[in-house]
Amino acid sequence: MAELTHVSIPVDSISDERDGRIIIQNISPIKGVNNPNINWHLHQVHYDTASVSESFEPVIKAIRKLGFPIQSKKENLPVLNMTCAACANSVETLLKYQPGVLDAHVNFASARVDVEYIPTMIDEAGLQKGTRLLGYDLVIDQSEGMPTLEEIRKASYKKLVRNTIGAWIFALPVMILGMTVMNQPWINYLLFALSAPVVLIFGRRFFVNAFRLIRHGAVNMDSLVAVSTGLAFLFSAVNTFLPWIWNSSGWMPHVYYEASAVVIAFILLGNTFEERAKKQTASAISSLMELQPNEVTVVIGDKTEVRKIKDVKVGDVIRVRSGDRIAVDGQVIDGQTLIDESMLTGEAVPVQKKTGDKVFTGTINQKGSIDIRSSRVGSQTFLAQIIKTVEAAQGSKAPVQKLADKISSVFVPAMMIISLITFLAWGFLGGEDGWMRGLLSAMTVLVVACPCALGLATPTAITVGMGKGARNGILIRNASGLENLSHITDLVLDKTGTLTEGKPVVVRTEKMAGADAFLPMLKSMEERSDHPLAGAVKSHLKNVDPVIVKKFHETAGKGIEARFNDQLFRVGKPAWMNELGIKNELFDSFKNATGSLMAFADETNVLAMMEVSDPLKADAGKTLEELKSAGIQLHILTGDHKGNADLIARETGISSVTSDVLPNEKAEFIQSLKSGQKVVAMVGDGINDSAAMATADVSIAMGKGSEIAMEVADITLLNSDISLIPKAIRLSKQTRKTIRENLFWAFIYNIISIPIAAGVFYPIWHFQINPMVAGAAMAFSSVSVVLNSLRLRSRRI
């Protein structure tokens, strides 16, 4: 009789015996459940079982179906050694089948796993042990003295780069010699010496990973590479050192070292490019995290103390000085200031904050010291929610180059089975030389099945497309953007910095008679101000010479004042002038203004008024018309207020306008479009756009915008030129078409060559290719893929 294991599941909300009886009645019939009972003091369900893995999931489902929540723990842990999307699926599947794990989701882009588990059944060490079975690993110890996650990943990337460089140093001579001096008697020994380091040292990871996966009944691209290149190398080595095996039967002992060394070098190069892209993805999230300070000043009675951000609790009073970033979400309880909230709204104009107003993590205090009471800290802050949105959205994308991994689970075993069938068929039905011909045919099948063309199909097209884009000011970061941009249905545009210039300018000025004589005082005052609108006035008055003003003073949220020749002048909001009783005869002419208004006055009268706004880019209208004519639905999505958004909408003719939205609301808007079966592209330039951009099918960043937006983006317009968007769409269509052509020819090559290699047509036409011809055909398929990709360079966009 099998030994029974005792299982304890902590369950909340068990209030009485009736609840216990209901649970026991529902789990007792489940296969493998023995002696179920309830521990009332610990709120635990117990049972014995001979197979934890078989009974665990049905028991959990039964308890949850009854409405009783399971006491579990959730962790977000870094995953190491994943090289493809299939690796992420393997880790996720393996963790889900661990007894005690309730759910697991692996984010391949950020190389992390969200896992929910029952601590009484499995701990982090148990999770790590499970992933190591397949050659992966979890980082569970970040204590002092242990290498950090960044250090581990940096070391892994450096090792990959070293292996790639080393592989190409040896593989290039193999490729050249294999095509030029094949008839020399010594060449096979030299090719072996050059290929061995590539296969046994630099490409070792493929064979180790494939072996671990096959032991657990799983395959991926590593399996495909290992089987084809490993057998090609072994076959060639046997023919090099034991040629008499073939000579005695009248066969030539051909070698196929290039089929192993060059393929491994190409695959390593592709892995290196992919790791670089993943590093950029991770850096976007790291940059967001850096917006939160590591330390804060906490007010305790009449004293203050500096604390680490991780030690701050809800309800603590935080003092934020001028120039500091705000570290928590909270409410101002003392003081007033101007806050730069551009990371939330995208708008450059700071927002006045006073007692009772809310402030958010990552925003910048520009003027004065304030005390805030924290309401949300750590993972609950608004910034943390943006980071989570970006991580989740990035992990949900499946680039076109993952197609090879998706089909490898079928392709690899299929090729091995076809090869075995070929060997056996020739052996039993091929006559006198049947077994020898069967061995050659089986080897030929594996050589032609080598995934070189398949591996090159996407990277070569992407490389050429990226180069062409870069020459036109379009930086393409990954295949996902190219895959989706070619068939977008909706384009969502941020306003500030995307449709508009992104900086305020004076668009209108009205002056009283004789006011020109006082403009030097206005320019001098604005030169001493650090308000964002001051720059617009200074640029507007660039031909005016300043004077020396005295007794400069700023009233937060209202304006500035100074004296010249004992005369007082003020610059600020018209409402401030009204409060001071200053006469304003110019105000009525600005009643319909949509921009920000500034008044310049002496002690009794307003001398001039200016309207400052962010103007539409010169080429925006033409570009938007081109996009509309292509059948793309346009939307404006902005954190700016409704008046400014509606003005830009009227100027551009865009009917769909959403304003006054925060970053998470932008992401929700994108998700709502996607849920309607739309393919959505988001164009933005600020931190506040990053969550929406990560959620979109395609993200496009302005090159002059924030680094975080560019790191999240699939595509960056280097000169912030909106007219490049139609060009990027045309380039996307051309590149996607080339990728599809490459994949088509790569698969057609296999479909045609495999039956020929297996000898299917030999009884009819007496035609069959040998491994040498198969190697040449494989090389030709790779060359054809490269040449087809190079055609992109000559196409106009």
Q: Which residues are catalytic?
A: 494
Q: Compute and round to an integer the Cα radius of gyration of the chain.
A: 34
Do the beta carbons of residue 255 and residue 236 sit within 8 Å?
yes
The SS3 assignment for 718 reads coil
Please name the residues in contact with 337: beta carbons below 8 A apart, sequence gap of 6 or more: 322, 352, 353, 365, 366, 367, 368, 369, 370, 556
Q: Which of 702, 697, 699, 692 is nearest to 678 (CA)?
A: 697
Q: How far apart are CA 53 and CA 395, in angstroms?
A: 28
Give me the helices (H) in 532-641, please.
Answer: 532-540, 574-579, 620-629
Q: CA 615 to CA 620: how far, in whole Å? A: 11
Tokens of 443: 């080897």
What phi and psi, each to the nearest 5 degrees, are found at residue 645? -65, -45
**Contact in structure between 240 and 247 (CB atoms under 8 Å):** no
**Contact criterion met (CB below 8 Å) for 434 and 764:** no
Q: Is 112 left (phi over 0), alpha (psi -120 to 50) or beta?
A: beta
| Spacing of C-alpha 285 from chain mean position | 9
Given the DSSP bridges, would you call strands 112-117 and 303-308 parallel, antiparallel or unpaired?
A: unpaired
Residues 198/203/204/209 CA torsion (nearest 10 deg): -160
CA dist 692 and 667 (Å) reads: 4
Of 696, 285, 342, nearest to 495 (Cα)? 342
Q: Roughly how many angstroms between the first and final C-alpha of the chain, as a whole number?
A: 73
What is the spatial distance between Cα 216 and Cα 133, in angstroms, rounded to a whole number? 9
Contact 187, 240 (CB under 8 A): no
Paired tokens of 269:
């190069």
Torsion of CA 289, 293, 295, 301, to 10 degrees: -120
Which residues have CB under 8 Å from 175's CB, separation 6+?
A: 258, 261, 262
Stated length of the chain: 797
Structure tokens, 160: 């990959």
Cα 182 to Cα 101: distance, rounded to the nearest angstrom: 57
